[in-house]
A = this chain, B = another copy of it.
């Protein structure tokens, strides 16, 4: 399963907000064996959101969009997603009922917009905040506030099914360039993916779909590098 993450918000583009949502989702999905193929950050404009959602939907198995839900003029994500799939936004009865039941807000308090979802979408309840999410076709729309996003993702995570996925990390106290030959041999001997990440020492990540193969590959490498 291949996925694109789309983060909506001028505040991410301008660096006022670090995109921790994409990192958190990337981790959850990778651990489930789902491959995150792209992250896009797009401004608070309907046309930009619609275009990137539409293109991603054509290319990946599913799309998770975060941010831009709520009542203010720059909360345009639902409109963008609706435009991407060619439906209008409309008041979602279930969203209104959920909010009236689960929050201190009455329907009359809610500024028009918060409960407007793309027509035909499934409402994803917001257990932490107010603005509901939505799922339509293979698009999942979640809030931008991290705690709200996380709680909503946990309700739907079983819908993201990947291949089995195992990982081992081997630290090495050598320059990355000195390790290249061993990486090559590692990839020849074992059916694994190898990534190396420099820092105080190099962390070598070995990933694959067979637990035993990944462990054997890690053991093989551990015996052949300087330990930090």
Contacts and interface: CB of A to CB of B under 8 A. Distances in A.
Interface string A184-212: 10000000001111100000010000000
A86 to B, nearest CB: 23
- The SS class assigned to the A binding surface is mixed
Contacts of A19: 18-19, 22-23, 39
A93 to B, nearest CB: 20
A28 to B, nearest CB: 8
Contacts of A13: 26, 30, 36-39
A44 B193 CA distance: 12
Contacts of A36: 13-15
A21 B37 CA distance: 19
B11 A15 contact: no
Given A17-B23, A26-B13, A74 B180 contact: no
A122 B197 CA distance: 27
A15 B43 contact: no
